[in-house]
Structure 1
Amino acid sequence: MGQSVYAQVMPLIGRELGFSVRLITTFVSISAFVFLLTTPFWGRMSDRKGRKSVLMIGFAGYIISSLLFVLVAYLGLVGVLLTSSLILSFLLARVLNSAVGAASRPAAGAYIADITTEEERSAGMGQYGAANNLGTIFAPIMVSFVAFLIANTEIFPSYLTPYGRLIPVVLMSFLSLLALLMVYLYLPETLEAGIEERKRERMSYDYKLLVFVGIGVLIFICFSSTMTVAAFYIQDKFNFSTLVTQERQGIAFGLLGIFSILVQLTYVQKTKIVPINFISISIPFFILGIIFIVISATFTFFVLGMSFLGIAMGLASPGYTATASLNAGSSNQGEAVGVAMVAPGLGFAIGPLMSGFLYEISPNLPYLICIPIFVVVFLLVLYIKRYI
């Protein structure tokens, strides 16, 4: 849920602070680049120190950095922080979130690998993806509900109304604290004591792995590109106010998550195929979703396009993660998932930066550029599947 909340809150807060589309997407790219650099480290750390401790570090980092983000945004909205000091403080909060919050992703993925057999790996990663997508459902619902309450009720004091965009981040910090406590109290460790001294297999970093990670990078470049500009696209194309945009964006993101989780809990769970084939199957849905978004004359068509993107990610994400896990030894699952997470890290570093520049040329360009990219992905999958 955490990053989904940021995806909806940051663009609108950024506009209220006077940031350009290009600057906001640059923030996203820089924080994603930090995520890219730190995720493999946390993956290796979870192989040595255990999944549970690294998960807890990730949650703690998210809580601290989110509260810092709220403080910086509040000081910017009330005029205490201006121009360069505001930009640098905003960037610091996002970098901290990525650097330490990144710990939870490889640790969680490796935990799933620890408790599943090779035959169960695709289904296990599908369930893991479904859990992530539950967050993409509930986060938009929470953000939209808060926006609705601010606009239509007096449940929040009037002096909080100008800062209502920040309330979902505060709520998410509280939920992360509850998750941290649950991990500490109830989650058993899956690695035996003495893992630091255990002889670990070395992963093979050959050109096939580079091609495979490249496939993931291209997928996440397009996904991050379309998601990052979604709020701007909705507001500009349909002439919605800020609060209405926040509500409608929540609906669109929520449906994306619903369709993604439905695919992962049904088709991915029941279909016994080589995991990388899920990526091939996802490509037509990606392209169809982009087409519906670009031709959308009404918000309904936009939502339909987002739903197709949800189906596509519901197929591609577990297919990608399961393939990476199955091509690693049992003693370096954390490293394998950490390497796999390079793709979303690099994708979210390049995609938002690219989409910010393209959006200022034409709002449709961040979407249209993805059609030829997905054709390339399909061809690369056909090539690499012979070796996996």
Structure 2
Amino acid sequence: MPPTRHGLAQVALFLALTANAAGQSFLLVVLAPLGRRLGFTDIQAGAILSASALLLMIAAPSWGYLTERIGRRPVLIVALAGAMLAPLTFGFIVGHRLDGAMSAALALGLFLAARSAQTLLSAGLLPASQAYVADITVPEARAGGMGILGAAYGLGAIIGSALAWRIGGSDAVLAFLIISGLAGLALASVTVLAPEPRRSNPGAASPAADLNLSRIWPFFAITLVSISAYSIVQQVVALRLQDAMGFASDDSIAKAGLALMATALAMIVVQGAVLRVLALKPEALLGAGAALATSALLFATFARDYTELFGALVLLGIALGLMLPGNLASLSLRTGPGAQGKAAGFNVVGQGLGLAIGPLTGAALHQFSPQMPFLAAAILLVVAFALAIGASRGGQAGFPISTTTI
């Protein structure tokens, strides 16, 4: 694939990840307060997200293996079809429930089923995207390539949070329709602009196609704890504003959406521009980001008003903008050329488990104190920092202890 096609393919991947992240972000922001209006308990709303995240853990590795067998492009197309159809279903359920045409129990069951189907179909999006970028970038440009993926997720988070801020509390059905339209646009872009990348011996078995778990497990673990922490925060921001700071339901959704939109914007600026200026090694980005994220979450824990909480979340966005691309690049560079899809698929297991742990943990801890979820998230980022330091030292030593492969 010539360089100009590489650029067009990256644009298509950017749109795909942006659309998917917009849907995820919107759902994380609005589901807890919207669920109360639909007749769901906080725990039930959290369970919808957690159950689908568990399915993500099951489906993502299979899709990762399939990217090595059938290619990146078919997996991307299936994933985006799921991302387009599910929001239409969500809008149908919400509209009928709010109109009184559907019981709370039926709405809960249908929402859970639709979310689960969406997860099973779209679980291959990130593994296929990461593997695609690894196929078309040289090692020294890998962190920048992964940063583009991170920036796409950041932009999607902004769009999802903006929808929550402006219309999530007043017209969730319209917001779901907009999200579906974005996914449809992304599907068309991938179909036209992203041909299958050239790979050497695709689908062939070789030592390079094995996963050396002793070299890459710390990055899986960092994915797990960092996504757990971030999903805890996303789940409870609106609840904290409502229960601890006195905002009404609709206003809490709007304020939470604005704060999380600013968080994602900070991530985009760092991933899209600052990373290229700093030109740091992936391990350095990872360690610095984890340390800064821990500090941000401690500030958020003790925030006394919306302004302080807003500032802490922006600082968290800056930190994640350093940390997440550093982690993905480190994982990719320590993975064989024939196992990029496998590694990305297993990494999504960490994301799925984090998305399963976060919402339920956040909802449960919020019952005891609105500050406790943020403190728990800070503790998780301390663990991420320790793992980053250990991974950096282990990389210098070559991880000689174990040679377990898959």
Say whether the fold is shared (TM-score over 0.5): yes
Give 5+ residue unaligned stretches, structure 2: 1-21, 396-406
Separation (CA, whole Å) in 2 of partners of 1:118 and 1:308: 29
Separation (CA, whole Å) in 2 of partners of 1:269 and 1:35: 32
Matched, 1:109 2:116: no
Q: Which of residues 127, 130, 134 is equivalent to 2:148?
A: 127
State the 1:267 CA deviation. Answer: 3.0
Matched, 1:247 2:254: yes
Post-superposition CA distance 1:205-229 (Å, at most 9, x none): 4345333312221111111111111
Matched, 1:75 2:100: no
Matched, 1:232 2:253: no
Q: Which stretch shifts more, 232-241 or 191-200?
A: 191-200
Give 5+ residue unaligned stretches, structure 1: 151-163
Matched, 1:334 2:341: yes
CA contact (8 A) 2:38 2:104 kept: no
Per the alignment, residue 281 of structure 2 pairs with: 274
Q: Where in structure 2 are the equivalents of 1:116-195 lying within 5 Å?
A: 116-146=137-167, 164-191=171-198, 195=202
State the 1:201 CA deviation. Answer: 3.0
Aligned identity (percent) is 29
State the 1:258 CA deviation. Answer: 1.1
**Equivalences, count:** 374
Per the alignment, residue 299 of structure 1 pairs with: 306
CA contact (8 A) 2:291 2:385 kept: no
CA contact (8 A) 2:52 2:115 kept: yes
State the 1:180 CA deviation. Answer: 0.6
Per the alignment, residue 112 of structure 2 pairs with: 91
Per the alignment, residue 156 of structure 1 pairs with: none
State the 1:89 CA deviation. Answer: 1.4
Separation (CA, whole Å) in 1 of partners of 2:299 and 2:244: 14
Partner amino acid, structure 1, of 2:109: L
State the 1:56 CA deviation. Answer: 0.9
CA contact (8 A) 1:56 1:180 kept: yes
Matched, 1:18 2:39: yes
Per the alignment, residue 10 of structure 2 pairs with: none
Separation (CA, whole Å) in 1 of partners of 2:47 and 2:108: 11
Post-superposition CA distance 1:110-137 (Å, at most 9, x none): 1111111111101111122112211112
Separation (CA, whole Å) in 2 of partners of 1:210 and 1:145: 41
State the 1:31 CA deviation. Answer: 0.9
Per the alignment, residue 330 of structure 2 pairs with: 323
Partner amino acid, structure 2, of 1:214: A
State the 1:200 CA deviation. Answer: 7.2
Post-superposition CA distance 1:84-125 (Å, at most 9, x none): 333221110111111111121111111111111111101111
State the 1:142 CA deviation. Answer: 3.1
Partner amino acid, structure 2, of 1:176: A
Separation (CA, whole Å) in 1 of partners of 2:368 and 2:215: 36
State the 1:376 CA deviation. Answer: 2.5
- Structure 1 residues 200 and 206, CA, compared in 2 at 3 Å: closer, same or farther? closer
- Structure 1 residues 184 and 252, CA, compared in 2 at 3 Å: closer, same or farther? same
Separation (CA, whole Å) in 1 of partners of 2:360 and 2:165: 26
Per the alignment, residue 160 of structure 1 pairs with: none
Q: Which stretch shifts more, 172-181 or 214-223?
A: 214-223
Per the alignment, residue 369 of structure 1 pairs with: 376
Matched, 1:27 2:39: no
Matched, 1:345 2:366: no
- Structure 1 residues 129 and 25, CA, compared in 2 at 3 Å: closer, same or farther? same
- Structure 1 residues 375 and 327, CA, compared in 2 at 3 Å: closer, same or farther? same
CA contact (8 A) 2:47 2:360 kept: yes
Post-superposition CA distance 1:57-97 (Å, at most 9, x none): 11101122222222222232233332433322111011111
- TM-score normalised by L of structure 2: 0.86
Partner amino acid, structure 1, of 2:282: P
- Structure 1 residues 372 and 7, CA, compared in 2 at 3 Å: closer, same or farther? closer
SS in 1 for 2:209: coil
Structure 1 stretches of 4+ with a deviation exceeding 6 A read none
CA contact (8 A) 2:365 2:373 kept: yes
SS in 1 for 2:244: helix
Post-superposition CA distance 1:244-273 (Å, at most 9, x none): 222212210111011111111233223333
CA contact (8 A) 2:65 2:345 kept: yes
State the 1:240 CA deviation. Answer: 1.9
SS in 1 for 2:195: coil
Partner amino acid, structure 1, of 2:190: V
CA contact (8 A) 1:8 1:249 kept: yes
Partner amino acid, structure 2, of 1:344: Q
- TM-score normalised by L of structure 1: 0.90
Separation (CA, whole Å) in 2 of partners of 1:139 and 1:371: 24
Q: Which stretch shifts more, 89-98 or 282-291?
A: 282-291
Q: Which of residues 27, 36, 56 is equivalent to 2:57?
A: 36
Per the alignment, residue 155 of structure 1 pairs with: none
Aligned-residue CA RMSD (Å): 2.1
Per the alignment, residue 291 of structure 2 pairs with: 284
Q: Which of residues 88, 97, 121 is equivalent to 1:100?
A: 121
SS in 1 for 2:338: helix
Separation (CA, whole Å) in 2 of partners of 1:266 and 1:36: 32
